[in-house]
Chain A
């Protein structure tokens, strides 16, 4: 069953008065519980597609639907609320808030819910255990390795139990060992927790961890 459906998706913009077409009438689906890797050269539209699924960017035309929600039709306020409940986003450069501890970074999405402090505490400890960083809760990002930072970022992405996890080059800044650990973690989230995962990557090794690999080139699916 398709969780994410892109229908006739087009994205155009102007750069220095030059019209740029990112996608033109793109149609694509991602099944619920799938783990998909999206590959392609720089500028192929991978990150733009990820941003559209997350509701961070809007298509010029066409629709983006995630579950029952037509993301492309939502107002900014609705999008923010929807993202807080349905999207977990992981960045290449981790993007943890440096002034907050690992615990506080992971707790951020839960601040947008009605959970009590005790409930938030329980959720954060659970995901810290899942990502293997239970003993690093009070560490600040600067006190963690790159691999640990990315695991905290993944914990932040999954703590509110989102519908879909979106990752933009999650292993791009990691050494081989840390990258392998992250990919193993993602596979575990997909396999054991049935999380739907869409990962943008340049790395063929990373793509191998996914169950499905798509190639995007100049906004067109090539495989």
Chain B
């Protein structure tokens, strides 16, 4: 502890350089934590999908509709307790950049099946169900655009062209962290009436009587529609979510690669800064050695400087990522609900900071320790 003033004095010798180096480390670890959190949030959302719900989609691709007539047939499959369906709407609000999850669903059955994932006051639910042009929105989406109950919201359709106006009759709160509060849901009938010969359910959601029946139910459904013009692909909601993750390609590899590249670039900056700083003080190393500072102590002092920069940078970068995203309810327009920096990511970030400190401090620290006092005292910048 008694050497801390010396370490601090050296760190603040070139304040601007130290601050910039620390901020570059902070930025690198902020980016690392952010990119890695995309991966962990995607994985988490796949893992928390319900095992007692199943998704039935077109075997051709998710963008193809399934016939409305499937509803009754799905409901008749042994093990199926309830059926609902939905369509991706993909509207934007006022400006293309105001994009969020919006979809049409069979209101009552959808709210019933997802009753455990969010809360919606009974009066609001009743008002929504009763009114054909009503919609419900997540609390975060409502706050984001400053909407209020009863307000008319007009979306511009990107798939279903034209302006679509809905009245907000309900605001839901997610009770499941992976259930997005950045979504708007309205009645399926609205688009069905406008495009009766085209629109059909985009996917069906089944509630099972018993999760252990999932495999059997999936096999039954897919074999039943196998030879039809609209074959199905059935899986648990968790598998469906995981499928979305894989649709992003090898996101994990990409994010990790970018994150590590950023960290490596910053490592070079930090190492260069540390070496420059140590080189400027070669003469002082000679003075300290003459006073009696041993090689190990000097090694430790230089490493402490590198450690200080790396760890303060890590605290700032990782701290900012940890605090910022929940504070602004970041969810990437609803595609990454529950986005947050996982403890494992924080631990990895701290590990990277320690490695950064070791890698950037090692060369100047070893140089300081190995330099002879006489050589150091002769050094002239």
Chain A residues close to B by CB (< 8 Å): 51, 54, 56-57, 76-77, 80-85, 87, 89, 91, 95, 97-100, 104, 108-109, 111-112, 117, 156
Contact = CB atoms under 8 A, between A and B. Distances in A.
Given A77-B294, A87-B290, 19 more contacts: A56-B289, A56-B372, A77-B296, A80-B293, A80-B294, A82-B292, A83-B290, A91-B287, A95-B286, A95-B377, A97-B287, A99-B10, A99-B13, A100-B6, A100-B9, A108-B288, A111-B2, A112-B292, A112-B297
Interface of B: 2-3, 5-6, 9-10, 12-13, 283-284, 286-297, 372-374, 377
Contact of B290 (A56, A99, A111): A56
A80 B12 CA distance: 27
Contacts of B297: 112
B9 A112 contact: no
Contacts of A84: 291-293
User: Which of B286, B288, B292, B374 has the most chain A CB within a 10 Å cutoff?
Assistant: B292
B10 A85 contact: no
Contacts of B12: 99
A97 B9 contact: yes
Nearest to B2: A111
A51 B283 contact: no
The dominant DSSP class at the B interface is helix
Contact of B292 (A57, A80, A99, A117): A80
A51 to B, nearest CB: 6
Contact of B291 (A51, A57, A82, A156): A156
A85 B283 CA distance: 22
Contacts of B2: 111, 117
B291 A109 contact: yes
A104 B374 contact: no
Contacts of A95: 283-284, 286-287, 377
6 shortest interchain CB distances as A-B pairs? A84-B292, A80-B294, A99-B9, A83-B292, A95-B287, A56-B373
15 contacts: A56-B372, A57-B374, A76-B294, A77-B296, A80-B292, A85-B292, A87-B290, A87-B292, A97-B284, A100-B9, A104-B6, A108-B6, A108-B291, A109-B291, A112-B292
Contacts of B372: 56
Given A56-B373, A100-B6, A109 B292 contact: yes
Contacts of B373: 56
Interface centre among A97, A100, A104 (most CB of B within 10 A): A97
Contacts of A104: 5-6, 9
Contacts of A98: 13
Nearest to A90: B290
A158 B289 CA distance: 16
Contacts of A100: 5-6, 9
A108 to B, nearest CB: 6
Contacts of B6: 100, 104, 108, 111
A114 B283 CA distance: 26
A76 B295 contact: yes
B294 A81 contact: yes
Nearest to A160: B292
Nearest to B286: A95
Nearest to B1: A117
